[in-house]
């Protein structure tokens, strides 16, 4: 069941912010406005950029400072590759990679799993959710964590899971790898609007 705060955030920013909002029940929920309130006006350019920024923040669970750092790194890229760099960096966070591998039902849960030390990256235990992985990195479930109840039913879930083409996970050896750089095929986020917001 989705909590009221998350429900409100999804109503304001869109269902793509949280997985639990991406259901028919949420889609058909009536849009309500407060007593005596009017239908909201169309957003200004600044308002639109602000909404896009908030989408990224809530979806990936990053702080304002972290998001600003990702944007600043991307804006240092010359040419038209800033949005690609921005997407690559934020998708390459270890918590997001764990989520993309199908090992967690949400990025928030993936962040908890990483923080609790369940993962090994290239033979080293990593407990920092924002740790940046790169092509060729090997991510394993720590030997001492393989028997945890948190992985119950994982084999069945992985069978039905559709992996992004840049990651893989082998349930037989509890190990995944980064095959390529993430490519942005998600139309929910307007990355250029976020970059423009911080360029003001």
pLDDT of residue 1: 36
Element (H, E) at 87: helix 82-91
pLDDT of residue 28: 47
CATH architecture type of domain 4-27+41-90+187-198: Orthogonal Bundle (1.10)
Give 29's DSSP letter. Answer: S
pLDDT of residue 184: 87
Give whole-number Cα distances, 160 to 102, 151, 157, in Å: 10, 15, 5
pLDDT of residue 70: 96
Tell me the pTM.
0.81
Tens digits of residue pLDDT in 24-41: 554 445 555 455 555 556
Token pair of 168 as six digits: 């893989």
Query: Does the domain formed by 93-178 have CATH 3.10.290.10?
Result: yes
Taking the mean position of all CA atoms in its chain, how far away is CA 122? 22
Domain with CATH 1.10.1050.10 in the chain: 4-27+41-90+187-198
Counting as low any pLDDT under 50, the low residues of the chain are 1-2, 26-28, 33
Domain with CATH 3.10.290.10 in the chain: 93-178
Contact in structure between 140 and 119 (CB atoms under 8 Å): yes
């Amino acid at each position: 069941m989705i909590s009221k705060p998350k429900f409100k955030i999804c109503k304001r920013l869109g269902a793509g912010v949280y997985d639990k909002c991406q259901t028919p029940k949420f889609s058909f929920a009536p849009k309500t406005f407060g007593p005596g309130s009017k239908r909201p006006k169309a957003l200004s350019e600044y308002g639109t950029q602000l909404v896009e920024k908030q989408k990224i923040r809530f979806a990936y669970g990053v702080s304002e400072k972290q998001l600003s750092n990702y944007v600043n790194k991307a804006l240092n890229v010359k040419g038209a590759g800033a949005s690609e760099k921005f997407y690559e960096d934020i998708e390459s966070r270890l918590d997001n990679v764990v989520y993309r591998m199908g090992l967690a039902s949400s990025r928030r849960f993936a962040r908890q799993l990483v923080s609790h030390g369940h993962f090994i990256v290239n033979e080293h235990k990593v407990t920092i959710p924002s740790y940046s992985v790169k092509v060729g990195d090997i991510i394993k479930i720590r030997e001492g964590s393989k028997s945890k109840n948190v992985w119950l039913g994982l084999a069945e879930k992985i069978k039905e899971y559709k992996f992004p083409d840049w990651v893989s996970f082998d349930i037989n050896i509890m190990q995944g790898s980064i095959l390529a750089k993430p490519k942005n095929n998600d139309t929910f986020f307007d990355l250029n609007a976020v970059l423009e917001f911080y360029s003001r």
